[in-house]
Chain A
C-alpha cells in the first residue's frame, strides 16, 4: 500500500462491500496458497515421480518406494499421511497460531492465565519439544536400521554385562559394557538405535494428533451445525448416530476392521477419527442451538449475515473452548491406542513407533530394561502433558468456571 492515509470520501465502498462478502482473510489466503503449493508438489509427485521412478532407475520397486525430492538428493518418499499431516499443520498455523498473533490482547490475557499454572507450562514446553523434534528430526536423522553387530548397547551412564552386546561401542569396564555417545539411548535386541526410533516415534505421535484433530473438528462441526440448523428428522438421526458412536467400543471395532483389512497407520488414524467426533458434534450443536436465541446473533442475522457467516464467525469461535479441551483429551487417547495396537503386534509393523519399541523390549526386560522403559516414559510424559494442558485450557478458556472459583 503506497497511500496508507485515505480520507473518508476516497474509500471505495463498493469494493469494501465486495470484500466483506467474499470474506478473504489473511488466514484464508495462507491456507489457499499453502494448499495450492502442496497440490502442485503432490501433482509433481503423482505424475512425474510415482509413475516414472522405477522406469527411470531401471529397477522394479512395484511403485512402493518413490522418493519425491530425488532431484535435490533427498531420498525421502512423501506418503499420503505426510500430505495430510502438512495440510493439518497448515490449517493449525492459519487458524490457531495466526489468530493468537492477530489478537494480541486476548493472547496476553490467556497467556497470563496459563503462566500461573506451572504444570501446564511444563507440559506446553514438553509438547513443543516433541513437536519440533518430531517434525524436523526425521528429515535430518537417518531411519533406524537393523544391525546385529551393535545389539544391546546400553544408554549413556548405564552399563550391561558384556555377554549381551557383540561389539561394545563404549568402554568395557570390569566385564560390563558402558553406554556411549554413539548410541545415547542404547540399542534394541536387533541393534536399532533407540534414540532414532524415539525421534521417529515423535513424528508418528504428532501425525496421529494433528490429522485426527483435523478430521474430528471438521466432521464434528459440520454434523453439529447441520443438526442444529436442519432440526427435525435430520437432527434426530444425526444425534442418535452420535449416541451409537459414543457407546460403540472403538477399540473392538478397530480390531475387527484390522482383522479383515490389515493394519496401516493411515487406516488407524482415519478410522479412529471417523469414530471420535461425537463430543465435538455435541458441543457445536448445543452451542449453535443456545446461541441462535441470543440477541447479538439475531442482530447479525437482521443485518444480512448469511448462515455460513453466523456459523463461521460466531458459533465456531464460541464453541472453540469446548472443542479445544475435548481435543486435548482425545489426542492422548489416540496416541495411547496406537501404542497399544503396536504393543499387541497388530499395528502398522512398518513404522518405528513407541509402542513397537515397548513390545520389542518386553522379552529383554530382565537385563536390558531401557528398551521398554525409555519409550514407555516418553509415552507417559506425552499423555500426561496433554492432560495437564487440557486441564489448564479448561480453566483458562472457561470464564464461567473462573467466576465460580472466585465466588
Chain B
C-alpha cells in the first residue's frame, strides 16, 4: 500500500477515463445521422437519382453497414493505435494535421503557461504581503479585470489598437517566420498577453488568500524574530505552503482555459493551431478531423489531471492514500 499503489491505481483510472470518453464520442457520432451520408443523399436527390441507393452506397463506402459491436471495436482499436482516419479538407491523415497544428499551439501555450505559473503566485503572495495597501487593491483589480474580460473580446480590442491603429503587430499571424525570431515574438506577444491576463486572475486570488493565512503563522513570527528579511520570509517560507493547494487547482484550471479560450484566441489572431483546426473542421464538416481534435483535447485534459494528482502526492507528503 501507499504511494506506489495509489499511483498505479490513478494511472489505471486515467486509462479507464479515456476509454469512457472514447465510448461517449462514439455513441454520439453513431446516434446521429452521418453528415457525409446525408450530403450524398441530398446530392442524389438533386441529381434526380434514387436517394435510398445513394444512402446505401455511401454507407457501404464508409463501412457503416456492419453490425454495431464490430464498428465499435474497430473504432476503439483505431483510436488507440492512432489510426484516426483521413482528413478530407486537409488532404492528409488526421494525426499529421494535428501534429502540424500542435507545432503552432505549443509556440504560444508554453510561454503562456510558464508566465502564468510564475507571475500568478508571485503577484498573489506580493499582494498578501502588502495586504489592503494600494498595491494589493491594484493587483485585486487586475485579477478581476483579467478574469471578467472575455478573452476573445479583449483580443479583438488589442488587435484593433496594436494591429490596425498603431501597426505594431501583423493583423494576420505569419506562419512562415522561424520559431525563435523577433517577428515571432512580436506577433505572439498580444495573444500570450491576452491569455495570461485571462488565466492569472484566479491563481492570483487563490495564492493571495492562501498566503494571507500564513502571514501570522507561528513559523513566520519565528522567522521574523530571528531577523529574517521580509523578502526571504515570503520567498522561502510562505510561497511553499501556498503552492500546495494551488497546485491542485491550477492544472485543471489552465486546461479549462486551454480547451476553451485558446480556441477563441487562435481564431481571433488567426493562429493555425489545434483550436483553429477544430473550428475549421467543424465549419467544413470534416468529421474525422472534428473527432480527432476532440479526442486530442480530451486526452490532454485527462493526462493533465493525472499529472496534477501525481504532482500533488509528491508535493504534499501529508496526503493519506488510504481513502483514495
Do A and B truly interact? Answer: yes
Which residues in A have some Cβ–Cβ distance to B below 8 Å?
240, 243-244, 246-249, 251-253, 255-261, 332, 336-337, 339-340, 343-346, 358, 362, 365-366, 369, 372-373, 376, 379-381, 383-384, 387-388, 404, 407
Q: Is the CB of B156 within 8 A of A362?
A: yes
The number of residue pairs between A and B whose CB atoms lie closer than 8 Å in the complex comes to 108
Provide 16 A-B residue pairs closer than 8 Å at the C-beta atoms, listed in order of the A residue.
Answer: A244-B17, A248-B301, A252-B259, A252-B298, A253-B294, A255-B294, A260-B28, A260-B29, A340-B152, A340-B260, A344-B279, A369-B160, A380-B153, A383-B147, A387-B147, A404-B213
- Since A256-B28, A340-B260, A343-B152 are in contact, a sample of 7 more A-B pairs with Cβ atoms closer than 8 Å, ordered by chain A residue number, is A248-B298, A253-B294, A337-B260, A343-B264, A366-B164, A376-B150, A383-B150
B residues lining the A interface (CB < 8 Å): 13, 17, 20-21, 25, 28-29, 32, 144-145, 147-150, 152-153, 156-157, 160, 164, 213, 216, 252, 255-256, 259-261, 263-264, 267, 278-279, 282-283, 285, 287, 290-291, 294, 297-298, 301-302, 304-305
Q: Are A257 and B149 in contact (CB-based, < 8 A)?
A: no
Across the interface, do A383 and B294 meet the contact criterion of CB distance under 8 Å?
no
Q: A255 and B282: CB pair below 8 A?
A: yes
* Contacts A249-B256, A252-B294, A372-B156 given; does A387 touch B144 at CB 8 Å: yes
Taking a contact as CB atoms under 8 Å apart, the answer to whether A358 and B156 are in contact is yes
Residues of chain A lying within 8 A (CB to CB) of residue B278: 252, 255
**Shortest beta-carbon distance, B217 to chain A, in Å?**
11
| CA A345 to CA B267, docked complex, whole Å | 11
CA distance A244 to B306 in the complex (A): 11
Contact of B160 with A256 in the complex, beta carbons under 8 Å: no
What separation, in Å, do the CA atoms of A166 and B39 have in the docked complex? Answer: 41
Return B306 CB to nearest CB of chain A, in Å. Answer: 9
Q: Which residues of B contact A340 (CB under 8 A)?
A: 150, 152, 260-261, 264
Q: For A240, what are the chain B residues with a Cβ–Cβ distance below 8 Å?
A: 13
CA distance A380 to B156 in the complex (A): 14
- Residue in B157, B164, B297 whose beta carbon sits within 8 Å of that of A249 in the complex: B297
Q: Which residues of chain B are near A383, meaning CB under 8 Å?
A: 147-150
- In the complex formed, the residue of B with least CB distance to A404 is B213
A372 cross-chain contacts in B, Cβ below 8 A: 153, 156-157
Please report the C-alpha to C-alpha distance between residue A32 and residue B296 in the assembled complex, in whole angstroms: 47
CB distance from B291 to the nearest CB of A (A): 8
Q: Chain B residues near A247 (CB, 8 Å)?
A: 17, 252, 255, 301-302, 304-305
Q: Give the residues in chain A near B148, CB-CB below 8 Å.
A: 332, 380-381, 383-384, 387
- Closest Cβ of chain B to A323, distance in Å, is 19
Q: Please give, as numbers and ranges, the residues of chain A lying within 8 Å of B285 by CB-CB distance.
A: 259
A247 to B18, CA, bound (A): 11
